[in-house]
């Protein structure tokens, strides 16, 4: 195998890596924000909110990300909403991630002892205050590893936005393949970059999880 092309095209991979990480960060952040609202709607006693959240989650989880990306990128311009490529990619990934994050957060909230809510209410705190200051912070501590895994998943799934022309890792690797007429080696480089990112994040998540476990035992 010949990797001499890296001397000329290494900046393609660095630039693609930057865009991939930016896509993942924005998508997960927006996905978490939307996921919190969806989770609260799903556990709400309001049947309409519950139905809206459940329908959204089931639809998004039941359809391919590629279809959702096409709807955002090709469908919205038909109703007068033109989005830049990068923003369209972020929105599609965020919408998809939010459905999974919502289920993670819902499970985390419901895993908190119900006595926490009752104790807070007995002290005069409202339901919203209790959720904001007592329940959700505890839930986030429990679901942090799962959210970290979702970030890793988004990093890998972000490669699909290359089909709409976003210059992330996969798109730039295809560009290098076309310029060098080497169909295999650029893909090996991209695979190694993805592996290094996800492996490093997995180790960091494991370290954070162990530290939290030690902190809980010391309390």
* Beta strand segments in the chain, E: none
For residue 12, the model assigns a pLDDT of 93
Fold (topology level) of 4-211: MetI-like fold (1.10.3720)
**Domain residues of the chain, as ranges?**
4-211
Q: What integer pLDDT is reported at residue 217 of this predicted model?
A: 57
Angstrom distance (rounded) from CA 50 to CA 42:
4
Low-confidence ranges of the chain (pLDDT < 70): 214-219
C-alpha dihedral sign at 171, 65, 50, 122: negative
pLDDT at 216: 59
The angle, 0 to 180 degrees and rounded to 10, between the axes of the packed helices 169-180 and 6-42 is 150
Q: What is the pTM of this model?
A: 0.87
- 204: its two tokens: 């960091």
Question: How far apart, in whole angstroms, are the C-alpha atoms of residue 118 and residue 208?
Answer: 30
**Residue 67: CB atoms within 10 Å:** 10
pLDDT value at position 66? 94
Q: What is the pLDDT of residue 139?
A: 82
């Amino acid at each position: 195998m010949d990797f001499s092309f890296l001397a000329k095209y290494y900046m393609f991979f660095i630039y693609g890596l930057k865009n991939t990480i930016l896509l993942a960060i924005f998508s997960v952040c927006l996905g978490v924000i939307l996921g919190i609202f969806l989770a609260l709607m799903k556990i709400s006693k309001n049947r309409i909110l519950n139905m809206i959240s459940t329908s959204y989650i089931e639809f998004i989880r039941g359809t391919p990300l590629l279809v959702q990306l096409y709807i955002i990128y090709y469908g919205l311009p038909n109703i007068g909403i033109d989005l830049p490529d990068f923003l369209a990619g972020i929105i599609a990934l965020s919408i998809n991630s939010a459905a999974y994050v919502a289920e993670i957060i819902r499970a985390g909230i419901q895993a908190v002892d119900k006595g926490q809510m009752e104790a807070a209410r007995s002290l005069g705190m409202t339901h919203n205050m209790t959720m904001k200051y007592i329940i959700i912070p505890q839930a986030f501590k429990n679901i942090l590893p799962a959210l970290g895994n979702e970030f890793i998943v988004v990093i890998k799934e972000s490669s699909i936005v290359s089909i709409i022309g976003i210059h992330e890792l996969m798109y730039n690797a295809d560009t290098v393949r076309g310029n060098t007429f080497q169909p295999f080696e650029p893909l090996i480089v991209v695979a190694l970059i993805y592996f290094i990112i996800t492996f490093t994040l997995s180790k960091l998540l494991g370290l954070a999880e162990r530290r939290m476990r030690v902190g809980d035992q010391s309390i």
